[in-house]
Amino acid sequence: IGLKAGDRVSLSVLLKGMLLESGNDAANVTATLVAGGKEGFSRLMNDKARRLGMTNSSFKNPSGLTEDGHYSCAYDMALLGSFAIKNPVFRSICSSAKCSVTIGDTGYETTFYNHNKLLSRYKGAFGIKTGFTKASGRCLVSAVEKNGVTLVAVTLNAYDDWNDHIKLYDYCFPLVSAI
């Protein structure tokens, strides 16, 4: 998100920077604030992952960037996404198309944009997170709510992730409605 040494920002700005802009700098600053650094934060992440039943994940950094021993799977990401959307602050941020923020003591104002195209392409979509690295390819964890039912979909290394998620929701919502 363009943080510079000495910038003072709120935790709210850091969260918005992580969720909307995939700000790795925001993730690292948050890790330092919450747990003293990436190692401590990774321990917290791994502890939470185990409590959520995420048995095929190991986190080594707060940003999701490629690192030896840092991995997850679609099922575990679905568990995490399902848990995270229960938090109203998280849900509010990841469902925002954009938000204006102030960074640093100079009062630099900027706008963060959500890269999740499902928000405008699929009725009921409200999140969750896009991602990309050369090693993992395009990744998407999304959530849609219709008629009081919420579904979470995950694709990893999916070139056509937006359309894949639309197809998954179009297939699954009628099945859930029939139950």
Average pLDDT over residues 60-78: 96
Only one residue has tokens 């679609």, namely 74
- Would you state the torsion angle of the CA atoms of residues 102, 141, 165, 148, taken in this order, to the nearest 10 degrees? -90
Per-residue pLDDT for 106 more than 80? no
Question: Helix, strand, or coil here: 65?
Answer: coil
Residue 6's pLDDT is 85
Per-residue pLDDT for 104 more than 80? no
Average pLDDT over residues 58-64: 96
Query: In whole angstroms, what is the distance from residue 18 CA to residue 135 CA?
Result: 20
Instruction: Report percent pLDDT > 70 for the chain.
Output: 100
Only one residue has tokens 């964890």, namely 141
Amino acid occupying residue 171: Y
SS3 string, 93-152, reads HHCCCEEEEEECCCCEEEEEECCCCHHHHCCCEEEEEEEEECCCEEEEEEEEEECCEEEE
Chain-wide mean pLDDT for the chain?
96
Single pTM value for the model = 0.94
pLDDT tier at 134 (50, 70, 90 boundaries)? very high
Residue 108's pLDDT is 85
Least confident of 46-50, 104-108, 164-168, 169-173: 104-108
Nearest alpha-carbon partner for 143 in 101, 59, 82: 82
